[in-house]
Amino acid sequence: MRNTVLIASALLVACSSDPGSAGPVLVPDADTNVSFDAHEPQPDTGLDAEIQTDTSAGSPNASGTRLELRYQVTRASDGTVVRASEPSYYDRQLETQCLFLQAKDGKQRCVPLLGGSVSGVFADAACNEALVYRSACDIAPRFYSTLAAAQCSTTAWTVFEVGAKHSGQIYSKSGDTCTPQPARDTLAYYRLGRELQPDEFVSAEITTEP
């Protein structure tokens, strides 16, 4: 049997004070750049269940100095306990979940995927300052992740910090024309911050062992 091993190297980056989510692993939607819950809701069986996150040992996997492995544990009211076999990755320094994906430097890096959507919405009348938006019911995002063209006709993930909430006029661009648009009450708009560099994320070497 062959096992896949991730050898992670911790790299320095500025810390954020906002706590990250410790919920189910998130996976990217490549079409909209919006993260979604990988665990589909289950039918109502009449049993209550408590879903927790377990970071204890009990597998050949091991947390590093920066990345923490987290396993979803479901404890049902009838005594059933299910511990997920696959962990999610939690970056202690960025205080957020992440997934190993190809970054702009061509390396596999643990990239945060909590984000929103950017699709032709701007904060200024010249349509130069893009806005990130997501459902008004969601918590404020800290990162925006998007797929971008990379070398050798491949794609790679680029990550931006998300800034303050925008409450003023918004604009949209069609061709060379920038026009004001009414903001939707169901959405919250945020300013796009700086682009994070690939070496600000934990990298990994993926090997195959017998």
Name the band, by pLDDT with cuts 50, 70 and 90, for residue 48: low
**16: its two tokens:** 């954020």
- Which residues are paired to 170 by β-bridges? 181
- At 129, is the secondary structure helix, strand, or coil? coil
Question: What is the pLDDT, as a whole number, of residue 55?
Answer: 61
**For the residues 101-116, what does the mean pLDDT come to?**
86
pTM strictly above 0.85: no
- Which residues are paired to 133 by β-bridges? 117, 189
Per residue in 126-165, pLDDT tens? 999 989 988 899 888 889 888 876 556 577 888 999 999 9
Q: Are 67 and 8 in contact (CB under 8 A)?
A: yes
Q: How many CB atoms lie within 10 A of CB 205?
A: 11
* Cα distance between residue 109 and residue 175, in whole Å: 35
* Cα distance between residue 115 and residue 122, in whole Å: 17
Name residue 125's amino acid. Answer: A
* Cα distance between residue 20 and residue 97, in whole Å: 7
